[in-house]
Homo-oligomer: A and B are copies of this chain.
Amino acid sequence: MATAPVVESASGQRLTRKGQQTYRRIVSEAAALMYERGVASTRIEDVQTAAGVSASQIYYYFGEKDGLVRAVIDHQCESVLGVHTPLLANLDSVEALEAWRDVILSIHRDGRNQQGCPMGRLTSELSRSAPEARADLLAGFNRWEEALRDGLRAMRARGELPDRVDPESFALALLAAVQGGLVLTQARRDTVALEASLNTLIDCLRGHADH
């Protein structure tokens, strides 16, 4: 997954500053359309119109639609993980997990963000048909899982987790709670299930910490 700023066209040409701005505008508009409608229902023509560019510009920057989709995946992983960056770096207490929960809830209480997790949606749509897309998304989920696991390990090192709580499993459970809570948010059009599942896990941790 690209972490450095993108500076190349599809054919490997270095982009000017203005070229990079155009590249990022196209990715951002494509990401918004694909989040709203799904990848299959977003046509290159729709992205052209939204970003105010020509088909040949999109081809120059991304090649075929697959190239644009992979750039959208990078953008969404950075955006999802970036939102939580200061939080993700120090998820090592119940209070920090509560703050992380509150950020996620506040984002998805906004009706425009009730289409689920951008990473989760792309996974549902692409994981079978596009192996490279799946690998990029998995790399994003792994970073997220790692941040949660590191925080739980730090809690254990400080004696705040009993032995029977496995930081590996609990990190996956927290990540699944976000993803599943957001699937249910799409069906329900509210964040009740998302909040309930994160609270249930955090309460379990608190329960454990009391021992």
Q: Give chain B residues whose Cβ lies under 8 Å from the Cβ of A116.
A: 124
Interface 0/1 of A106-147, CB less than 8 Å to B:
000000000111001101110111000010011001000000
- Candidates B124, B188, B199, B201; contact of A186 at CB < 8 Å: B124
Beta-carbon contact of A184 and B179 below 8 Å: yes
Q: Known: A120-B183, A176-B184, A204-B204. Is A36-B127 also a contact (CB below 8 A)?
A: no
Knowing A173-B200, A176-B177, A180-B177 touch, does A186 contact B141 (C-beta < 8 A)? no
Task: For A120, list chain B residues within 8 Å (CB).
Answer: 124, 180, 183
A180 CB contact (under 8 Å) in B36, B40, B179: B179
Residue of B nearest to A139 (CB): B187
> 13 A-B Cβ contacts within 8 A?
A121-B124, A125-B125, A128-B186, A141-B184, A170-B200, A172-B200, A176-B176, A176-B193, A178-B180, A179-B183, A180-B182, A180-B183, A207-B207
Given contact pairs A123-B183, A172-B193, A179-B179, enumerate 13 new A-B contacts (beta carbons under 8 Å): A38-B38, A38-B40, A123-B187, A127-B186, A137-B187, A170-B200, A173-B197, A176-B176, A176-B177, A176-B180, A180-B181, A204-B204, A204-B207
